[in-house]
Amino acid sequence: MAVVKPRITKIRRTVFTEVARLAYEGGDYSRIENLPYKILPGETESYRDSIFLERAIIAERIRLAMGLPARGYTTYAPVSDGVNESAIANKFYDPPLVNIIKFACNRCPEKTVTVTDACRNCLARSCEAVCPADAVSTKDKKAVIDEAKCIKCGKCVSACAYHAIIKQERPCAASCGVNAMKSDDKGRASIDRTKCVSCGMCIVNCPFGAIADKGQIFQLIHAIKSGVAVYAAVAPSFVGQYRLGADFRKLRTALKILGFKDALKVAVGADLSAVDEAERFIKEVPDEIPFMATSCCPAWASMARKNFPEIENTISMSLTPMVITARLLKKKFPDCKVVFVGPCSAKKLEASRASVRSDVDFVLTFEELLGMMDACGIIDTSALEPETEEQIFPASQGGKAFAKSGKVADAIIEVIKAKHPTRGIKTARAEGLAECKKLLFMAKAGKYNGYLLEGMACPGGCLGGAGVIATVEKSSVMLQKYCDEEEMKIASENPLVSNLDNLD
């Protein structure tokens, strides 16, 4: 889960705002060269050793926010390189999605165990006693760790009564549940693309703001300005964001001010996804597959396929709520463009797949949308008049609750109970990719035969995604209110369920 880093957050959101403003204003985009100076004026550094370094990093953030590639050390290119070619109404991501700005990386050590000055040279010497590698000894009245022997198990850390021994790990690596963070030959963070699933946890956990993902704000605004009808499909995790509480009507008002035709709840897609997965579970478990894993979290599903290819067939083939909602929209409005607005970096990668890109044209995180709001002067969303026009698609309590860890499985179970009241369903759930891997190891070993498995890549579920604004705790309270106000309780009660067969 991301920790509070207000200075980095401010920089990231300012960049989103300026990129959005650039797109809305149009004109000569070569003025992008001046943006680093506008964002960081003056001649005194604020965050790092040099104002020149700060501006260079801001320039890379601007490029990535526009979907442009980061520049390397060895080849000269202006900030504006490629900007005119990217000033278009549609653009898919050029890999890689998640990028490390190398000169922003602080070269944090990968993993160390260190004795601090708090060591008291105690009589117990518990640190020595518990070390399985005989790496701890006492020298000059202080514990000493032999790095050549140390296996970084951390037992000495736990054993010290004075908490004088600490275990440190590179924050981006500690937050990566698939062990994709490595070091390059200069000690800077590097991403193993064969392992990375673009969950975005490294982005929000790097205390130096050295990691960023690419965005589509620039192209989206060009699509809006072109006059095409652009619909926002908003994830249920919008609750608690933008000081809106659980009032989706005010968010619709804000989005219409930004130029969207309208905004719809992705909770409708969650309803249909829950129904489809319930039907697949009843049909396939245990006759065709030993257990079934949910598919709505793309980072979880990607991790499962990469790390456990031998049980890939157990991952549900159901469409994700994002894709289902987009297909419903495009059947109703064939010439429209669809923007998924949510908490997740991995959704950007999902939308770029060949099988999905015709359904979902753009993906924005809640933070990126906040930049658009700021650029258009929408500062206090709570003061907006709520949209009164009725929603196009309804959604149930079960679909709305998808945003919280554990609630996807709950929604599926409720559908199964309604149709098969005598069928007993066992579930196992995990949040955070490290725990998700443990869950699948157990499942592969046969410990969860007959089970429904739910995996969420982010701690807290979608409420804790890499692109959220509010905390998981705050959003959880709001989500409960959002669900309680809905009269339709079970996903299978949604009248649009009959459309499922026409969406494949």
435 token code pair: 């725990």
Please state which CATH class domain 111-169 belongs to. Answer: alpha beta
Q: Where are the domains of the chain?
A: 6-107+173-218, 111-169
- The reported pLDDT for the residue numbered 1 is 47
Matching CATH number, 6-107+173-218, of 3.40.47.10, 1.10.8.60, 3.40.50.1820, 3.30.70.20: 3.30.70.20
Give the pLDDT confidence of 134-159 residue by residue, as tens digits.
Answer: 999 999 999 999 999 999 999 999 99
Give the pLDDT confidence of 223-259 residue by residue, as tens digits.
Answer: 999 999 999 999 999 999 998 888 999 999 999 999 9
Task: Round to whole Å and give the CA distance between 235 and 423.
Answer: 31
**Residue 358 pLDDT level (bands cut at 50, 70, 90):** very high
- The reported pLDDT for the residue numbered 390 is 81
Determine the average pLDDT of the residues in 288-312: 97
Lowest mean pLDDT among 172-186, 199-213, 360-374, 490-504: 490-504
- The reported pLDDT for the residue numbered 5 is 66
* C-alpha neighbours within 13 Å on the C-beta side of residue 155: 15
Rounded-to-10 torsion of CA 150, 155, 158, 161: -80
| Shared fold status for 6-107+173-218 and 111-169 | yes
Determine the average pLDDT of the residues in 165-174: 95
Q: Is the pLDDT of residue 476 over 60?
A: yes
The conformational region for residue 441 under phi > 0 = left, psi -120 to 50 = alpha, else beta, is: alpha
Across the chain, mean pLDDT equals 95
**Residue 382 pLDDT level (bands cut at 50, 70, 90):** confident
Give the pLDDT confidence of 101-138 residue by residue, as tens digits.
Answer: 999 999 998 889 999 999 999 999 999 999 999 999 99
Strand ranges (DSSP E) for 109-258? 111-115, 136-138, 143-145, 165-169, 181-183, 189-191, 211-213, 230-234
Q: For helices 267-284 and 407-419, what crossing angle results, to 10°?
A: 60
Q: Model's pTM, two decimal places?
A: 0.94
Task: Round to whole Å and give the CA distance between 86 and 342.
Answer: 23
Q: Is the pLDDT of residue 3 over 60?
A: no
CA 57 → CA 47, 63, 440, distances in Å?
Answer: 11, 10, 39
Give the pLDDT confidence of 392-443 residue by residue, as tens digits.
Answer: 899 999 999 999 999 999 999 999 999 999 998 999 999 999 999 999 999 9
390: exposed, middle or buried (C-beta count within 10 Å: 0-12, 13-18, 19+)? exposed
How many other β-carbons are positioned within 10 Å of the β-carbon of residue 496?
17
Are 39 and 15 in contact, with CB atoms under 8 Å apart?
A: yes
